[in-house]
Structure 1
């Protein structure tokens, strides 16, 4: 039996002049393969917007043909350059669902995320590739922070990790086949988010939104992007969400 895959996307510009998030969905004609990609561009300029838009399209089109991992690596070629050359870059997630089997391959680089809804609970299927995540895994019990214009400060690993959560350890321009995780899941609702969405929504709020709207991917994508909060400093990041709903 061939399943039905419904996709929905939503995005909201943050407080900066440009929305550097972009997403793309591609259905490979004649097959049951549907790929969704989300790229969060690093920086905020028209060039970064163009980069993220094109990279998302490349990742989705290659992903539908060759799988999520190769979709990421194909988009990464757009940011490939000698280390001495500054080029546009971004973080990315790709999900490719096979309508024949109901299996979804997922791959990512950086701190955009992929969630799965099991029918009863929301599970984060990706792992953030950030310095904060690295510190939680390898940092011991305490860490000393060296920050410009501030005295050195020794804090708990968790407090230090929260400071470093905004620093990506990997992006498209720095990823390789050895650094891009590839997993297979069978969740019936797959959710891709930029960090401006999941990073500015309380986990309990996100779970409640998915509980309320998991049967309506359009409402869910809109609700997640609308829920992103402005920080105490008045800053709000671009927020983007892609939902794949698998039914049948």
Structure 2
């Protein structure tokens, strides 16, 4: 197990590969004494390109969100998805370690009524076509991901998302979902149908295309960003209980991943825990009220 631990009093994140071949969930966080930005991305598929897409989109979204808010972060990732990155590392560097135990990376950073439904499924591995040369690495489908981005300062917090990565507000009561999954299952349930759980795994919005959801608030507590490897096995009550039980944000993020594994997840996971209840943050919010 590899553990990265750089603690700060307000923010922590954790990721884990679990039973997947590639760690295709990524998190990125930036904080100052008075503001924060965070992004969690879930690569679509279990491929090197999915892993690279998640890492790159989370970083690009974080940079833009820090300056212009979470919706700008997702739009920046969308622009990055359509153009090559000149400094992109070789995808072979993302191959899974053969003898490493799948485990969490933990860290903290310092102070549809819209367009036609489009489905996004994990891309299969390409197989050589009989009597033709095998596809070269450059012919493989480009990486894609779902993404949730959050920012906050003394005026409150904002969240934007594309796909089924989620944000929750954890207070003294339950964990309150702030996002609505962009999935086929949710699409039909909102229209009175029951499509079954399998369609909850097919997203209608991603970094590359589809709707972007937004929400805003001023509540204190803890803001939690997670991928579906966590929220598909932990209901809101459990997620809230686990988050509240651990004081340190990095340990709380790691505890969410531990709970997800105990509940049976085999998917890779990512969690970010942002503490909105710091005394300075509460004072700033009250002063601005």
1:39 paired to 2:69? no
Of the candidates 154, 162, 166, which is equivalent to residue 197 of structure 2? 162
Partners of 2:214 and 2:63 in 1: how far apart?
17
Match of 2:88 in 1: none
Partners of 1:77 and 1:198 in 2: how far apart?
28
Match of 1:8 in 2: 12
Of the candidates 209, 227, 248, which is equivalent to residue 216 of structure 1? 248
Partners of 1:172 and 1:210 in 2: how far apart?
28
Match of 1:133 in 2: 186
Closer/same/farther in 2, CA of residues 87 and 181 from structure 1, 3 Å limit: same
Residues 223-238 of structure 1 aligned to structure 2 (within 5 Å): 223-229=255-261, 236-238=266-268
Partners of 1:78 and 1:43 in 2: how far apart?
19
**1:121-173 per-position Cα deviation (integer Å, ceiling 9, x unaligned):** 21000001101111111144xxxxxxxxxxxxxxxx1xx24121101011011
> Are the aligned partners of 1:131 and 1:161 in contact in 2 as well (CA < 8 Å)?
no
Closer/same/farther in 2, CA of residues 203 and 27 from structure 1, 3 Å limit: closer
Of the candidates 152, 156, 159, which is equivalent to residue 97 of structure 1? 152
Q: How many residues align?
A: 215
Unmatched segments (≥5 aa) in structure 1: 141-156
**1:159-200 per-position Cα deviation (integer Å, ceiling 9, x unaligned):** x2412110101101113xxx2122112232100000001112
Question: What is the RMSD of the two structures over their aligned residues, measured on CA atoms?
Answer: 2.4
TM-score (norm 2): 0.69
Of the candidates 36, 59, 66, which is equivalent to residue 61 of structure 2? 59
Partners of 2:69 and 2:207 in 1: how far apart?
16
Match of 2:227 in 1: 194
Partners of 2:50 and 2:188 in 1: how far apart?
29
Closer/same/farther in 2, CA of residues 227 and 180 from structure 1, 3 Å limit: same
Residues 170-181 of structure 1 aligned to structure 2 (within 5 Å): 170-175=205-210, 179-181=211-213
Q: Give the SS at the match of 1:205.
A: helix
**1:62-119 per-position Cα deviation (integer Å, ceiling 9, x unaligned):** 10100010001101122238x9x94211000000011x33x11100000000000132
Closer/same/farther in 2, CA of residues 5 and 109 from structure 1, 3 Å limit: farther
> Are the aligned partners of 2:234 and 2:263 in contact in 1 as well (CA < 8 Å)?
no
> Are the aligned partners of 2:27 and 2:41 in contact in 1 as well (CA < 8 Å)?
yes
More strand as a share of residues: 1
Residues 73-112 of structure 1 aligned to structure 2 (within 5 Å): 73-80=75-82, 86-98=141-153, 100-101=154-155, 103-112=156-165
Unmatched segments (≥5 aa) in structure 2: 1-7, 84-117, 119-139, 280-289
TM-score (norm 1): 0.79
Q: Give the SS at the match of 2:172.
A: coil
Partners of 2:251 and 2:263 in 1: how far apart?
24
